[in-house]
Structure 1
Amino acid sequence: MGLDVEATRLAVYVYAFIGDPRHDIHDLTRDDLLSLRPRLTPSAVVVNTLALVASRNARRRTNATCWFLPSTFAADILRGIVWDDVHHIYQRFWMPETTALEHVFVPIWDVDEAWYMMILDVRKPRVYSLDVHRTVENMTRKEKQMTDVLRALSLMFATPTHILNFTDRSPNTSGWGCILQASGIPEDLTRAETAIWACSWLSHSGGFSRNIFGLMGDEDTLRMRLASSIVGAQCNELRPAVDEASQATWQAFVRAKLPL
């Protein structure tokens, strides 16, 4: 199914209702994690936990090349959060200081309860909309949402902390050209499927190419891979306990499936 042995073992552990896999930052409950089971809709906490894992992984580099923002960033901007609060809540934790910024990933939960992703290619510079639930009716609303978020990011880019990333280009995203609708992706997925796609775009290695626009593969396999990546993340403080428990769960599963 496209999973390696470790991912398979962790997925079996998660879906077997054994143990209590949690995250060290987000209050990730069992119900949140099990929302990754087939046919259920992944919770917003799951999406943001994957953004957190990706952000932590990006920070391990000496000079981070990517920012992975939680969906609360766009939500706060769209509800008119005070600008000082944007700095306080998001800059230090989600926007590490760097001089090598290449891409910014912004998941957005629309009012119709479907997810889409905005990706900024800082080096080009270009802005992409990865939207697999777009309709004629919602495109104008989403264009305004993305424009508002981009305006906030422009202000962040222009701060003394981040301006060195823009020595040869403008930090003002209004001059980057129109928002590009990514081609080669589905256009009318269900709300549950849009969450899986958002999670998938947050869980890749951090590089960027047009391959990210393409099909992500079998959805059930994706759900298992995402669940295992959360509980197996290096930034999960309970990882040693999870690893030990998942080994025991896997052995019990193997014995049940392959009796002597």
Structure 2
Amino acid sequence: MNLSDLLYPSNPQRRQNVIDLHQELLDCMELNFKATNELIRTLNGNMGAKITYIKMKEGGTIKENCDIIIRAMNDIQQVVWQIDKQMKEKLEPVMYQKLYDIKQPELEKIAIAHRIISIILGEATVSAGTVAVKLICSNTITATINKLVALLAQIGVSVLGGIAISVLGLGIDIILHAILGAVEKDQLLASIQSYEQHLAEFKEASKTYQHAITEISALVKGKMKLMVFGDVPTHK
């Protein structure tokens, strides 16, 4: 009798479920790496950011790869915060509030954002205002990043965090052997059930995150034409 049979004598399907969960996590992480790099490319190209692109550490653990994404997201949040701070300092309070007012026409907000970003950077791309409104003046990306960071941290410290990415797909016995290095047999089933719950949340948050970035990237690549609504009052 092999290791997996000892752990799951009455539930062969559970063995396949564990393999599937690992593969789902890997697939989801790969998509988040790509989406994060796309967001970094947008910020670097349009907002004057200098964030380093990220790459999966093939020989690393799940936790190490979670930490790579978390650090990149923290860098992104820092850039967003800095630009928002500068916009608030340079714009009149009423104009700044308009950027966050959901009742204001989006094209007007884009025009305001583009003008002030041009002042902040000295020169801005045609898409800078669109990026600012969609990324900085919207709570969607910020809230999604915050949720993803929390979920990645949870996965990183879970029983699966110490498993190497290279283990995925190599077989259930190898995976379970890696897990048993961290927990006792009687804790394993509860850990897997908890992991299933984390993965469901992680996939949902990742989908929202990736969709938002795809939308922003499409607007940038399409070089959306901006309508400029006169001069924007700034603090002297």
Relative contact order (C-alpha < 8 Å, sep 6+): which is higher? 2
TM-score > 0.5, shorter chain as reference: no
TM-score, structure 2 normalization: 0.26
Q: Which has the larger radius of gyration?
A: 2
Q: Under a length normalisation based on structure 1, what TM-score does the superposition of the two structures give? A: 0.24
Task: Choose between structure 1 and 2: higher helix proportion.
Answer: 2
